[in-house]
Amino acid sequence: MGETNSENKKKTAREIIENYNGPKVRIMEVCGTHTHEIFRLGIRKLLPEQVELISGPGCPVCVTPVSFIDEAIYLALEKGVTICTFGDLVRVPGTKMSLAGAREQGAKIHIVYSPADAEKYAKEHPEEQVTFLSVGFETTTPAGCLSVKAAKEDGLDNYSLLVANKTMPQAYEALKGSADVFLYPGHVNAITGTRLCEALTEEGVSGVVAGFTARELMTALAVSLVKFQEGKPFFVNCYPRVVTQDGSKEAQVLVDEMMEACDSEWRGLGVIPASGMKLRPEWQNFDARIKYQMPKIEGKPNPACRCGDVLQGKCKPSDCKVFGKGCTPQHPVGACMVSGEGACSAYYQYS
Ligand code: SF4
């Protein structure tokens, strides 16, 4: 067993990590940005062999299922809708093609940097029907809501959202047994607060909220290792300069006013009850699925792709047979190799 708390207090985070001699521990980087930063900063090289870092489901593009890409392609090709989207989503393979492939067949795909840009585009192009692909977690949902509010204020009837926004708490529940410690994504907790993560300790789930600088990540890992050795479930907020217990009330009120929970499909995890968001009935004129009477679309991922297992920490990207061969950032087979936050792209880039 490792050392006592008072002995650890005298050590730097780096010393605690490098000299860890406690039991084997699996720490899940829930957030794709954490995965990339830990690689980029060389922190993995400091870890003793009994500390295993595994990737989790916190990359918005990666967890968005194939069926969502197929829905967007349906709107673009069958309904003639202009799709506004973040750039990452354009190369994610759908069942038959990606949005980039649809563009080659005449689909209008416009890259934007925010939902506000998409609403602006719709305002400037009243002759086009415009749909923004709204993906992501608690951090991005408020901006989508604000764009719908702006569209209403601007009197637009040519703007809508195709919503695949998700909420993290239900994913933590679904992944309960996958890791010993969760490295919670600080930017999500900045919105949600920490109460839920604190409550999860009662179900035996341990975790720390981590920031994104080298110091913040090292501190979060060191705290995880020290607390893990104490042998009981724990929660520590290691990002207090940004994360509070209550989170952002303003963002929570806005989202609650405009959206409600719904069941949602996650790549690899399947449908998780009440883990998604959709616009409330009073805003349904801006809901692309209702506006265009979207048929039920079942997406089929490439059978060679193990993104689903990667996102649950069941395998490493390098365990996938096509990693670095058939699947590269230039020719991605799955979403985890496309996204700048994807685990496969991080492994490809840094390992
Ligand atoms: Fe999917 Fe490519 Fe990752 Fe394999 S390497 S899991 S095909 S994204």
Rounded to a whole number of angstroms, the CA Rg of the chain reads 21
∠ Cα 183 186 189 (to 5°):
105
The pLDDT, as a whole number, for residue 58 is 76
Ligand 1: does its nearest atom lie under 6 Å from the Cβ of 62?
A: no
- Inform me whether the pLDDT recorded for 21 exceeds 50: yes
Could you give the CA distance from residue 186 to residue 203 in angstroms, rounded to a whole number? 21
The 10s digit of each residue's pLDDT in 165-199 is 999 888 888 888 889 999 999 999 999 999 999 99
Determine the topology of domain 5-59+169-237 in CATH.
Rossmann fold (3.40.50)
166 forms bridges with which residues in the sheet?
276
**Which of 63, 312, 333 should be mutated for ligand 1, with most atoms under 8 A from CB?**
333
The 10s digit of each residue's pLDDT in 31-82 is 888 999 999 999 999 999 999 999 888 788 889 999 999 999 999 999 999 9
Q: What pLDDT band is residue 8 in, cutting at 50, 70 and 90? A: low
What is the arithmetic mean of pLDDT over 202-225? 95
The pLDDT, as a whole number, for residue 178 is 87
Ligand 1 nearest-atom number relative to CA 307? 6
Could you give the CA distance from residue 307 to residue 305 in angstroms, rounded to a whole number? 6
Residue 120 Cα to ligand 1 middle (Å): 35
- Inform me whether the pLDDT recorded for 254 exceeds 80: yes
With beta carbons less than 8 A apart as the criterion, state whether 90 and 99 touch. yes
Kindly report the average pLDDT of the chain as a whole number.
93
Ligand 1: does its nearest atom lie under 6 Å from the Cβ of 320?
A: yes
5-59+169-237 and 62-167+247-291, same CATH topology: yes
What is the arithmetic mean of pLDDT over 236-243? 97
151 forms bridges with which residues in the sheet?
none
Question: What percentage of the chain reaches a pLDDT higher than 70?
Answer: 97
The 10s digit of each residue's pLDDT in 278-331 is 999 999 999 999 999 999 999 998 999 999 899 888 899 999 999 999 999 999
The pLDDT, as a whole number, for residue 12 is 92
Q: 62-167+247-291, which class in CATH?
A: alpha beta
Residue 206 Cα to ligand 1 middle (Å): 29
What is the arithmetic mean of pLDDT over 91-97? 94
Write the DSSP assignment of 69-124 as a string of letters: HHHHHHHHHHS-PEEEE-GGGGGS--SS--HHHHHHTT--EEE-SSHHHHHHHHHH
**Which of 59, 344, 349 should be mutated for ligand 1, with most atoms under 8 A from CB?**
344
What is the arithmetic mean of pLDDT over 231-246? 96
Query: What ranges do the domains of the chain cover?
Result: 5-59+169-237, 62-167+247-291, 307-350
With beta carbons less than 8 A apart as the criterion, state whether 287 and 160 touch. yes
The pLDDT, as a whole number, for residue 1 is 42
Could you give the CA distance from residue 3 to residue 225 in angstroms, rounded to a whole number? 11
Locate all alpha helices (DSSP H) within the chain, ordered by sequence: 5-9, 13-18, 32-40, 60-63, 66-78, 99-104, 115-124, 141-153, 168-174, 186-192, 195-200, 214-228, 249-258, 288-291, 307-311, 335-338, 343-350
Q: What pLDDT band is residue 2 in, cutting at 50, 70 and 90? A: very low
Residue 188 Cα to ligand 1 middle (Å): 26
Residue nearest to atom 8 of ligand 1 (CA): 334
Ligand 1: does its nearest atom lie under 6 Å from the Cβ of 69?
A: no
Helix (H) or strand (E) holding 235: strand 235-237
Ligand 1 nearest-atom number relative to CA 302? 7
> Which residues contact residue 186 at a Cβ distance below 8 angstroms, ignoring those fewer than 6 apart?
31, 209, 210, 211, 212, 216, 239, 242, 243
Q: Which of 271, 261, 258 lies closest to 67 in space, CA to CA?
A: 271
